[in-house]
Amino acid sequence: MTLPHRTIATAPAPILPRPRGPVSAAVLDALRTAPAPASRIARPPLGDPWGEDLQLGLYTCYELHYRGFAEVDPEWEWHPALLTVRSALEHAFLTAVRREAGAPPPLARALAALLADDTAGTGASRHLLDSGQRWQVCEYLAHRSLYHLKEADPQMWVVPRLPNPAKAALVAVQYDEYGAGHPERAHAQLFAEMMADFGLDPGYGRYLDTVPAPALAVVNLMSLFGLHRSLRGALVGQFAAVEITSPPGAARLAAALERLGASPAGTLFYREHVLADAVHEQLVRRTVIMPLVEGDPSLGPDIAFGIAATAAVEERFGSHLLGCWRHGRSSLRTPLEGAPALGA
C-alpha cells in the first residue's frame, strides 16, 4: 500500500533545555556565551551518574555533535573546556554502566540470548498492546523521539572505525535506515509522521525538557559508544542488540497503535521495522560481527559488553515507564495533555 507523503516541518536545531541541577546549569550557562580560548566552565560535584542533572549535562554536550542548539556557537563542539567537562561526565556514566551491566557472557552466548528472547527490551510494547491507553502511547513516542528523530546517526560514528568487510555490511544496513535513497522513507521521517498522527509535535528535540533521565541515558549510551574509537566494539554490540530484538517488539507496537486509533501513517514506522530488522538481524550477525571478530578477536568481549550495557539502560527505562503507568501517573517530567498529573 502506498501512503501519501506528508512533509513534517522540523526546526533545524532545538532550543537549549532548562537546567536540572548544578552540572547541567554550568554547561548551559557556558553555551549561552561566546567561546574564547580562555573560557572556563564550573565543575560542581557530579552527583548521581543516572540522575537528571548529569544525564542532561551529558546529553547537551553530545547534541553539539549532531544538530546543535539554536543560538549556540558551533565552536563549542570541540572547545577544550567543554570537552574536559564532558570527559568527567562520561567517566562517571561509563563506570555506572559497567557496574550495572556486570561481567558480560561470551559473545556467542550473548547473541544466542538475543535470538531466543522475543520479549527482550523494556516490556512497554507488551503493556501497550495488552492494556495501553492513548496517552501512554503518546508518552512512549515522546521518550523515544530523542533518538528516533535522529535514527541512526549515533551508529554512523562507528563506520570509519571498522575495516572491510564489516564496514560495507554495516553501511548496507544503515542505507535502509536512511530510506534507501528515498528521503520520505527515512526512519526518522516515518517516526515524525507517526508523532504527528498522534497529535505530537514532531520538531527535533521538542521534548528534551520533558523527557527524564532514564530515556536520556538510552541515547547517551549510543553517543558515548559512537564518539570513542576505544568503544567501537560496544557500539557494534548496541547496534546488534537493537536490530536483533526489534521485530517482535515492533510488531506489538504496530498492533497497539492501530488498536488505539492510529492511521496507516501512524503505524508505518513500526511495520517497516518488522520487515527491515528481520533482514538486518542476519546481516549484523553474519556480515558485520562475524568478520569483525575473526579479524580482531579482542573485540568479542567489547561487543558482548555493548549488548549487556544496552540491556541495562533499557531495563532502567522500562522500569521507569511501567512503574509510573502501573500507578496511573505520567512518566514524563511534564505530563502531556490528557495524561494524569505527576502526583495522581
Domain boundaries, the chain: 22-100, 105-326
Element housing 108 (H / E):
helix 107-116
Neighbours of 71 (CB within 10 A): 10
**Residue among 24, 16, 68 nearest 46 (CA):** 24
Q: What is the pLDDT of residue 342?
A: 66
Per-residue pLDDT for 96 more than 90? yes
Band of residue 227 on the pLDDT scale cut at 50, 70, 90: very high
- All three cell numbers of 130, joined, read 495488552
Instruction: Please state which of the ranges 106-115, 142-151, 222-231, 272-281 shows the lowest mean pLDDT.
Output: 272-281
Q: What are the backbone dihedrals phi and psi of residue 178, each rounded to the nearest 5 degrees, phi first?
A: -95, 15
CATH of domain 105-326: 1.20.910.10
Give the 3-state secondary structure of residue 257: helix
Please state the pTM of the whole predicted model: 0.94
